[in-house]
Chain A
Amino acid sequence: DAKTTQPPSMDCAEGRAANLPCNHSTISGNEYVYWYRQIHSQGPQYIIHGLKNNETNEMASLIITEDRKSSTLILPHATLRDTAVYYCIVSINNDMRFGAGTRLTVKP
């Protein structure tokens, strides 16, 4: 039970922003939201994480709602190499549960 809900798949046009939603309505006050991605069965790759505030790094931006019950990962200019499965994770009792994720396909 991953405690997060993500759409199973999404498409995005190359060069456009990809917005990946995640619901985590049972998140507790001290749990972080993490995003990882997995490209073609390679090991997962860390993208970004946050607690309350919005976060940005060289890969992506993370927008967390004020009530923390949902978040959105934004890839500002998606490329074909961003095609992957994206996992939204919140830690539960000190372990991280990966759900099925969202399969993002970036199309030319």
Chain B
Amino acid sequence: NAGVTQTPKFRVLKTGQSMTLLCAQDMNHEYMYWYRQDPGMGLRLIHYSVGEGTTAKGEVPDGYNVSRLKKQNFLLGLESAAPSQTSVYFCASSFGLFEETQYFGPGTRLLVL
């Protein structure tokens, strides 16, 4: 099992550009999450999904969109990147919603110039 994988590992964008971060899990988990982590801070939840075709907002959803077209994939989109979105993005998945162990991916480092 690969667990949770994230693509790409690192990306540099210019302000206004768009991109999509891909998260994939092979554990048949129903629940998936996207977090961001800024330097010296804990993780903050952006969006999450309780199953294929569903998404919900987390703590900091503005400027991001998500889609869960397949159970194993959770996509995070930035339509018009801003320097404030420079961060490390972590994806996670779990069997149960929040109150179950979350398995995290290795992270995607995004720099917006």
Contact = CB atoms under 8 A, between A and B. Distances in A.
B24 to A, nearest CB: 14
A41 B88 contact: yes
Interface stretch (A20-28, A65-73, A76-84, A96-104): A96-104
B107 A41 contact: yes
- Range class of the A interface residue count: 20 to 34
Interface of A: 2, 32, 36, 41-46, 49, 87, 91, 94-101
Interface stretch (B13-21, B40-48, B77-85): B40-48
Interface of B: 4, 35, 40-45, 48, 58-59, 88, 90, 92, 97-99, 101-107
A96 B44 CA distance: 9
Contacts of A32: 99
23 contacts: A41-B88, A43-B90, A43-B92, A43-B104, A43-B106, A43-B107, A44-B90, A44-B102, A44-B104, A45-B104, A46-B101, A46-B103, A91-B98, A94-B97, A94-B98, A95-B45, A95-B98, A96-B98, A97-B44, A97-B45, A97-B59, A99-B42, A101-B42
Contacts, number: 50
B90 A91 contact: no
A32 B94 CA distance: 16
B98 A98 contact: no
Given A91-B98, A94-B98, A2 B58 contact: no
Contacts of B97: 94
Nearest to B97: A94
Given A95-B48, A96-B45, 16 more contacts: A2-B42, A36-B102, A42-B106, A43-B92, A43-B104, A43-B105, A44-B43, A45-B104, A46-B102, A94-B97, A95-B59, A96-B98, A96-B102, A98-B35, A98-B42, A99-B42
